[in-house]
Amino acid sequence: MTPDPTVPPTVGAILAGGLARRMGGGDKPLRTIGGRTVLARIVGRVTPQVARLILNANDDPRRFDGFRLPVVADSLPDHPGPLAGVLAALDWTAAADPSIAWVVTAPGDAPFVPRDLVARLHAARSGRGAMFACAASQGRTHPVIALWPVAIRDELRRAVAAQGIRKIDLFTERRGGCAVAEWPTNPVDPFFNVNTPEDLVEASHLAEVYSKL
């Protein structure tokens, strides 16, 4: 399956640079749900939507060797949060394929991310004439699940490195905020994320009940 030709070429970036404190440490994307890792589920859902897929993660990249994805570490020190992962993805795209102008980011702990994520974010952005787009469900926005222009990377670097901006919303509001694409939550919220051991149990149950997820 290839990406929709009507959608601008887009790099997908799975953000897996978090510290997973509520999970007791370790890599949340490598936890298993229904016999498959969280990361394998995300890769399977996002790959058909994008021109290229990368993984943003820090420390030893060899733990992700089985996925055969470029592993891109934060370029900024001290784990300054998801914006550092976004910046790493934008920088990688600019260097690896300057013809691609867009990056979609998704967290490494959302095993049911929708299969129409990229197309709908592009539609929301272009429909509003916005610079960014982000996903929403149940009336709640998910800033990490977003569409980013590669051209914003130098401004983003200044915001994070020099101005101490850590929250995605604080950055995107500078340019008019995000256009929002809303998804239904039946039979399951596609942005359910696995933050705790209890979430992992719930995700396993959802994957079993809704086998097509």
Tell me: the pLDDT tens digits for 70-123? 999 998 888 889 999 999 999 999 999 999 999 999 999 999 999 999 999 999
How many domains are contained in the chain?
1
Residue 22's pLDDT band, with cuts at 50, 70 and 90, is very low
CATH number of the CATH domain containing 59: 3.90.550.10
Instruction: Please indicate, yes or no, if residue 5 is contained in any of the structural domains.
Output: no
Q: List alpha helices for the chain, DSSP H.
A: 38-46, 82-96, 117-128, 153-157, 168-172, 197-209
Instruction: Please indicate, yes or no, if residue 3 is contained in any of the structural domains.
Output: no
**How many of the other CB atoms lie within 10 Å of CB of 40?**
17
Instruction: Please indicate, yes or no, if residue 2 is contained in any of the structural domains.
Output: no
Instruction: Please indicate, yes or no, if residue 175 is contained in any of the structural domains.
Output: yes
Instruction: Please indicate, yes or no, if residue 196 is contained in any of the structural domains.
Output: yes
Asked, as a colleague might, if the bond just before 187 is cis with ω within 30 of 0, I would say yes
Instruction: Please indicate, yes or no, if residue 1 is contained in any of the structural domains.
Output: no
> The pTM is what?
0.93
User: Which structural domain, as residue segments, surrounds residue 109?
Assistant: 10-209
Q: What is the pLDDT of residue 213?
A: 61
- Hey, is 103 helix, strand or coil? strand
Instruction: Please indicate, yes or no, if residue 89 is contained in any of the structural domains.
Output: yes
Contacts of 119 (CB under 8 A, 6+ apart): 4, 6, 7, 49
Instruction: Please indicate, yes or no, if residue 4 is contained in any of the structural domains.
Output: no
